[in-house]
Structure 1
Amino acid sequence: MYTKDNIFAKNQRINSFQLSKLHTFEVAARHNSFSLAAEELSMTPSAISHRINKLEEELGIILFVRSHRKITLTEEGERIYIALNKTLNELNQEVMDVKSGDISGELTIYSRPSFAQCWLVPRIYSFKKQYPSIELNILTGNENINFQGYGIDAAIYFDEQIPQKLWYKELMEESIIPVCTQEYADQLNLIERPENLKYTTLLHDNQAWDYNSHHGEWTLWANENGIPNIDDIPSISFDRSDLAVTAAMNNAGIAMGRLSLVKKRLVTGELITPFVGTQLQCAQKYYVVRASHNPSQKLALFLSWLINEVEQQ
């Protein structure tokens, strides 16, 4: 098929005309179809076929085996396609890096465990999609950390104490309300009957705002809603709000849920609020803290993304 004159020379570089044809080849190979390639490129199938034929002549390589209404890559064509696809992916990554200011490297965020589990982590894919070159590290814990020497760029706290001598920004308020499964509520006749709490097991975060807050969330909620003797009800305590909620989802009891963290469970019906209209706004709020008033470009991008996510929820 090919003569010595039209075979691609061993040391010859691909020219701009061949790059255009290689793009056509990539689309045809991806679809395994000249017709589908024609639709994507707004061309006719015959024009696609002509371009591929010309590319094969210029390269001196048969790229496709043609049969009736079907094309398949040859072994050589498969190798060219894999190399081309890899190159295009790498080029696309470089373009994204340039568009984001070529911002790369590590960024370490410290967060309360429940907030990370229920709110931050489910949304983190969108940050990574926007800034793929930033290597994000998420650390969790209940203590307030010392930024010096820990390599932490920012922390997300849930507290009513305003941090001293640190930059901070309030993210959002929080409310608490009891949550359980429909099955548990039906079993103990809880719907709109908070007096039946005495038959339940209370599930709670005993580090809601300090290391020994015990069932303080339940006490605050009960006092607000006129429910006596809450201390006499059996309970199970955890050091994380999301663990109490997980226990509730498995019918271990009724949990004091933080509304922003259980909202998705309520929408799906995995959990219900048996006492509608009894939610209590917390004194504590979520806020983000950093040591410096002048954040790095990576941190500035993360903070902007974080605030945008809060505003869109």
Structure 2
Amino acid sequence: MVEKRPLFKLFCHLTLILGIASVAFPVWLAIVATTHSNGEFATGTPLWFGDLGLDVFKALFYSHDKVNGSKFPLALMLTNSLIMALCITVGKLVISILSAYAVVFFRFPGRMLAFWVIFFTLMLPVEVRIMPTFEVITDLHMLNSFYGLTIPLIASATATFLFRQFFMTVPHELVEAARIDGAGPWRFFFDILLPLSRTNIAALFVITFIYGWNQYLWPLLITTDIKYYTIVMGIKQLLNVNDGIVEWNKIMAITLIAMLPPVLVVIGMQKAFVKGLVDSEK
């Protein structure tokens, strides 16, 4: 017999509603802010739509309008962020899955030592590694380039560890059956392991794409040319106003535009993402 506890159920629903509201309220303010003129922010923060409608978005995309008195190539920054995020995502997945495959299915001297060296990098925060990495990138003349934006962020101990844990659950009988059928290492990898790993790949794709898209500190260090600015960098630059009024309506509009690609990736891959995190079937 299931005990009915209406007060507890009501409390749970109220908690969930408050949690959703606390997350959605800043997004709501950003949407509302795009429909108001900058003068209206002097007296307070509006909570309902204004009279501008979609004029701010049209000005950003269909004209060469400036933001806070400076040039702001929105389309170029979105393209740079997309290139950076995709390169980091694909690079992380390829390197991680190959390194995990080598550690699990091949026997060579120093195999576990190599894995634990990779794993120990998880204990080093980004701030510890960032200055040595910056010096290496400078010596290789990779400043202000997509190579410098992406290559230092490709290696991932987390993804390698997750793929290794998944590969260790693959039945040994499956490996033996593939070997008896004449499947070599590459055929076993592409025909058996990759199809089995598709949900894990989808989950890691979403995580690493958002990670690459939201990068701020690293692009800020190695880019001084506006041609390589990312959208996250651009939003921060808009707040650096010495004289005049901060154009909050345009900043909020650009922020909403910058949120769209990660949101679309999460929505489009939601089922595979959740299945890759919780499904244990092989």
Which has a greater percent of helix?
2
Q: Which has the higher contact order (CA 8 A, sep 6+)?
A: 2
TM-score (norm 2): 0.24
Which has a greater percent of strand?
1
Tell which structure's C-alpha radius of gyration is larger: 1
